[in-house]
Amino acid sequence: MKLHALTRLLFVTLLLNITIPTSFVSSEAAAVPSNRVLPSSSTANHSDTAAAVHETAAAQETTAAQETANANETTAAPRRSAAISWVTLERNYPGVFVTHGPRGKRKAALTFDDVPDPRYTGKVLDVLARYHVQATFFVLGSLAARHPALVKRMQREGHTVGNHSYNHALFSQLSQEQFRRQIVRTDAVLTPLIGYSPRFIRPPYGEVRPKQLQWARRNGYIVVNWDVDSVDWRSLRSRTVILNIRKTIQPGSIILQHAGGGPTQDLSGTVEALPRIIRLLQSKGYELVTVPELLGASPER
């Protein structure tokens, strides 16, 4: 499951020669043109999906791609590209690169990327408050600078704030210095807002290189991806978001969702699904916790 987005991203990156560091594909996967069928790694079984590519920093839409995601549900193909699999990264960087928590306890973590976004983040926070559930938000520095009150609210309401880069850069295409600047610059925005330097980094698209993990380890960061992908960035209906989570959840899971995105992205399915996801998981005996709680680590660096 976790390889799907990566494989798809690599495929699309190669296919379209996307230069992503300056643009923002608002998902952890990537936009696909309408006439393409996703590679065999696709998780898609929906036909009503859309993806948007936009500039975050400039908030300027560049392109939007409608996707005929009629690919069938298949298993992930092995990654044959130069990129290193998450399994290998987890093995080589234990405690520094993680995709889930301990499997022995019935706990799971809700995570929301591409925030803050005034259209959706407040609504997600409202639902979490109503159910007294704490989650983890992976914040973009550029958006935090524009909507600081939403970041402060996350902190005030007991959620964990993590670093999702400054402008949704694709780390695997950055120099080490460019990568470092994405993290440090975001850190400089977040620290005064929340009172600590976030320990957790979620790489956009889940893509990270070994050298970057070495830097993360030296500097006290933990890079956290996911093992459950709601695929909600595709503007899915709530029932599909719920299904995507329900079919892959297991003890220790880290669930990827979005509470922000590009101008053409509709995350109302995510907002609508959230109360039902919380009730569903709790009815199955899951305790919903933040990523630091799940991993037994401090949210602060």
Taking the complex as a whole, the smallest distance from the CB of residue 291 to Zn ion amounts, in Å, to 15
| Of residues 61, 83, 116, 66, the one with CA closest to residue 13 | 83
Helix%, strand%, coil% for the chain, nearest 5 = 40, 20, 45
**Which of 114, 117, 207, 227 touches Zn ion by CB under 5 A?**
114
Taking the complex as a whole, the smallest distance from the CB of residue 258 to Zn ion amounts, in Å, to 7
- 204 part of the interface to Zn ion, by CB under 5 A: yes
- 67 part of the interface to Zn ion, by CB under 5 A: no
- 260 part of the interface to Zn ion, by CB under 5 A: no
Taking the complex as a whole, the smallest distance from the CB of residue 274 to Zn ion amounts, in Å, to 18
Residues classed as catalytic: 113, 258
In this chain, which stretch among 66-74, 202-210, 215-223, 237-245 interacts with Zn ion, using CB under 5 A?
202-210
Total of chain residues touching Zn ion, rule CB under 5 A: 3
Nearer to Zn ion, 67 or 114 (CB): 114
- 113 part of the interface to Zn ion, by CB under 5 A: yes
In this chain, which stretch among 46-54, 187-195, 197-205, 218-226 interacts with Zn ion, using CB under 5 A?
197-205
CB within 8 A of 184, min separation 6: which ones?
A: none
**Cα 51 to Cα 25, 34, 200, 261, 291, distances in angstroms:** 8, 10, 26, 10, 27
Nearer to Zn ion, 200 or 286 (CB): 200
What the block records as the tokens of 28 is 């952890």
- Which is it for the CA torsion 130, 163, 289, 107, positive or negative? positive
Nearer to Zn ion, 114 or 187 (CB): 114
Alpha-helix residue ranges (DSSP H) falling in the chain = 2-16, 86-92, 121-131, 141-146, 148-156, 176-194, 210-218, 238-246, 268-283, 291-295
Beta-bridged to residue 107, according to DSSP, are: 287
**Residues at the contact surface with Zn ion, assessed by CB under 5 A:** 113-114, 204
